[in-house]
Amino acid sequence: MKAKLEVFALVLGFVGLAGTIAVTALPMWRVSAFIGANLIVMEELWEGLWMNCYRQADIRMQCKAYDSLLILPPELQAARGLMCVSIVLVVISLSITGCGTQKSSCCDDNIKSKNITLALAGSLYLLSFLTTLIPVSWVGHTVIRNFYNPAVLDSQKRELGEALFIGWATSGILLITGVILLFSYSKRRSKEEEPYTDAYLMEERDVPNEGSVYLERTPSSFHKHQEYV
């Protein structure tokens, strides 16, 4: 059962890696909002971490990379860095998870080393969960705040893009993966400590208590008399 959980965690890890890469690459972090009487609904604008895309009427969508990082708002600047960190963390976590599984030949089948490896992988998955959730939630909060801000022009208002929803789902997958690995680590450690606990209890039973006096049992005179008869 534990081996199946570890394989399931590996599968979830690959899904989380694909999700983080997709969220980082997709330009649909902020999309144009179709509100206001003077807005042409045939225009569509996508804004991502690396580029923005624009399409009007039946014209093919055109994408252009940002000329400078400084032209981006603070939340998108932070999201770009944090999402790259998240991808690196998931890749490292996947590699460590592969070495920490029971069926892996890494660590020379040393259970203690594999337990430490599994705990490290679970911790890195939880860290990648944070580095994915923080930028996605930050951008989403900014989009919602500006959408309901009357001081912002209708043409400058944006809606939540598909990349944000994929990011929230990916962060949930990374959280579940980290919890599964830490749960497997705790189960393995409890199994590992059981033999040592049993051996310690057996040694305590065999060692006599200090201060105890051993009294040799001697036969009574009546017992000697019966043997003589």
Domain boundaries, the chain: 2-193
Tens-place pLDDT, residues 7-45: 888 899 999 999 999 999 999 999 987 765 545 456 788
Sequence-separated (6 or more) residues with CB below 8 Å from residue 216:
none
Q: Any idea which residue has 């980082």 for tokens?
A: 24
Is the model more confident about 89 or about 196? 89
pLDDT at 198: 44
Give the DSSP per-residue string, 77-91: HHHHHHHHHHHHHHH
Cα dihedral across residues 182, 183, 189, 192: positive or negative: negative
Question: Does 200 score more than 60 pLDDT?
Answer: no
pLDDT at 184: 80
Q: Model pTM greater than 0.85?
A: no
Tens-place pLDDT, residues 55-90: 776 778 888 898 888 888 999 999 999 999 999 999
Sequence-separated (6 or more) residues with CB below 8 Å from residue 104:
98, 114
2-193: which CATH topology?
Butyryl-CoA Dehydrogenase, subunit A; domain 3 (1.20.140)
Tens-place pLDDT, residues 145-190: 998 888 888 778 889 999 999 999 999 999 999 999 888 877 655 5
